[in-house]
Structure 1
């Protein structure tokens, strides 16, 4: 079994970054475009903690804990397959970091229910899931839990989509209240990094690519699944003949080409030709399929190899979680001491 060596843990003066994913299933190319590619770059410039967010996944999957449990390994495999290096990035399991839950309980005393309900991200997610007034308490309280995740690592940088930015602001509100109560700066505020590329739509043209929506391309997808997904992609419904002018905006194939095509100059020419007419959907789909096949093939191969050495993947999670536990417990002690709670 390979042993891990955290070469980056003694380096100083690097900003701390906290990011992660809910463990609700394998990751897809939307994750790669929106976050994973950036995490690969951050490994050298930041002290990076990558959270397998299984506790958060339970906030709307409590009736299917087996899916959440099973997905821990799936997401970890995807992290390692895309090139996340456990000697430079700490991969850790949320449910095995008790300080996160303890800080969440403390932080709930520094935020009101009304403020939680006003959070735009939470409002949108409640509406999307059709909770009505039957909102799981854990889901409503998620902003406080995320504040605990961020501050427990004393992260100063958090990469999120623009729809998640209100959660970072609410975390900073809690930080300011903790610091004001303590009379000194116990916790740092965090800055949101929002990627230039927006969230990729699903292959069906819907606003959000999701694991549960059946409109995503998994990073572990077979060549056939990639091919079939690209063939099924939404383009311009009014582009009925090759000679017809086509619309680029809202065309999922071009949205994906914007995100993944390394030849952006050539892509600009392709867009112009499509808008003039004379370019069929089949050609742009063939271009996209070739790009995605090239992207996914090495990830799929590495993932297959790693899945044969599951003890190594478990060791990555165990060692990363142990290191994260040390960091988060130290932060919890700082907060408890700063608030002047009774000490035994």
Structure 2
């Protein structure tokens, strides 16, 4: 019913590192050519845990957007915007909070996990409890059909789907819904109306999923239907009411396997990162001084690649031939650790070079970044406004 639309956001944490690139941005760059994509800066989300230090947020926002552009996210193919510049997110969050059971929020797995991990912060706030609802509002306000998530975020998306279902069930039964739906069926023309009715009965009486898919495909082909009639027919088909909010599907993304300089997952909290646009001398120094297999005390000592953090980086950056050369050279002490590190240095620098070149354009003229975001915010507000018009009407708030 709704066009394929992807939504994804990131908290502004300042300059991004190669873990962000391999875990998120590479996916964004690919998806922008396959779907209508909206990528946003989740600055309100940053306040749920950094409400006591908001000064860091603004500069972090611009640094992060430059990193997106440097990584290849293209404003000609995706809409880039800042969450707080689209106040409709907050309005939908407020309205959905009226119908969201408290127990739903408390059972989101990350709620207790984060409280246990971030013990130095007071997270006994309404904003922190309600952040999964704000996340749902971010998705639902654009009627996003797909959201890229890792395994750990699936409960958040399921929460969003349940919320859309609850809202549609409570508010989708507009007065005279059946009569309006039957009138919409007639607009299909006699042949297609008959087929729609048959498929609807097969699905509702026999649970035939193939019939449901065929009926949805039939409706997708109807160009002359108004949006209202299209929504009614989709709702009528499934036995519900008018579909006001769409239930997003997950695009499951592989967990980033980008290791840090110490072999652990690359993370600012471990102080083991290489940033996307870090200068060549710094990158070279960081990799050259990486710890290696502790058994290789002298150059003549053989080593075990699997016990060395550098080997993890070879998995990301080196060809099969290079990896075989490392395996043979390390285990026989035929190569030294500095030699082993050189292909990794070259691989990282080669990956970063186009990023630095793309970023320079925006660093030389910061107004370009501001204009991209301003255009994106305008597009996002238009889409959000369309959803809010329907939500207000459904909830009896469209006063004329």
State if a TM-score over 0.5 links the two structures: yes
Q: Is 1:209 aligned with 2:209?
A: no
Report the CA distance between 1:117 and its aligned residue.
2.7
- Is this contact kept in 2: 1:19–1:159, CA < 8 A? yes
Corresponding residue SS for 2:49: coil
Distance 1:267 1:172, change over 3 A: farther
Q: Is the 8 A contact 2:86 2:381 kept in 1?
A: yes
Report what 1:103 is aligned to.
92
Q: CA distance change for structure 1 residues 151 and 77 in 2, over 3 Å: closer, same or farther? A: same
Check 1:299–1:342 CA distance in 2 against 1; reply closer, same or farther (3 A cut): closer
5 Å-filtered alignment, 1:239-258, equals 240=297, 243-248=301-306, 251-258=308-315
Residue 313 (structure 1) aligned to one of 353, 362, 369:
369
SS of 2:32's partner is helix
Partner of 2:287: 230
| Structure 2 counterpart of 1:159, from 123, 148, 155 | 148
Alignment of 1:109-188 (within 5 A): 109-130=98-119, 134-181=123-170, 182=172, 183-188=241-246
Equivalenced residue count is 329
| Distance of 2:391 and 2:22 partners within structure 1 | 36
Q: Distance in 1 between matches of 2:247 and 2:294?
A: 46
Q: Which residue of 2 aligns with 1:4?
A: none
Listed as ranges, the gaps of 5+ residues in structure 2 are 173-240
Matches within 5 A, 1:237-316: 237-238=294-295, 240=297, 243-248=301-306, 251-261=308-318, 263=319, 265-266=320-321, 269-270=324-325, 272-273=327-328, 276-278=331-333, 280-316=336-372
CA distance in structure 2 between the partners assigned to 1:25 and 1:14 by the alignment: 33
Indicate the SS of the match to 2:9: strand
**Bigger shift: 292-301 or 117-126?**
117-126
Question: Match for residue 8 of structure 1?
Answer: none
| TM-score under structure 1 length normalisation | 0.85
Deviation at 1:142, TM superposition (A): 1.2
2:214 equivalent in structure 1:
none
- Counterpart-to-counterpart distance in 1, 2:13 and 2:151: 21
Higher CA-based Rg: 2
Larger mean CA deviation between 41-50 and 100-109 belongs to 100-109
Q: Is the 8 A contact 2:5 2:37 kept in 1?
A: yes
3-state SS of paired residue (2:41): strand
Q: Distance in 1 between matches of 2:322 and 2:125?
A: 45
- For the residue of structure 2 that corresponds to 1:45, the secondary structure is coil
Alignment match, 2:30: 41
SS at match of 2:13: coil
Segment drifting more, 52-61 vs 232-241: 232-241
Secondary structure at the residue paired with 1:85?
Answer: coil
* TM-score (normalizing by structure 2): 0.74
Q: Which moved more, 1:281-290 or 1:153-162?
A: 281-290
Partner of residue 13, structure 2: 24
1:191-242: CA deviations, max 9, x gaps? 22233343534323444513x5532211121112212322344554455566
| 1:52-67 pair list within 5 angstroms | 52-67=41-56
> Which residue in 1 is equivalent to 2:179?
none
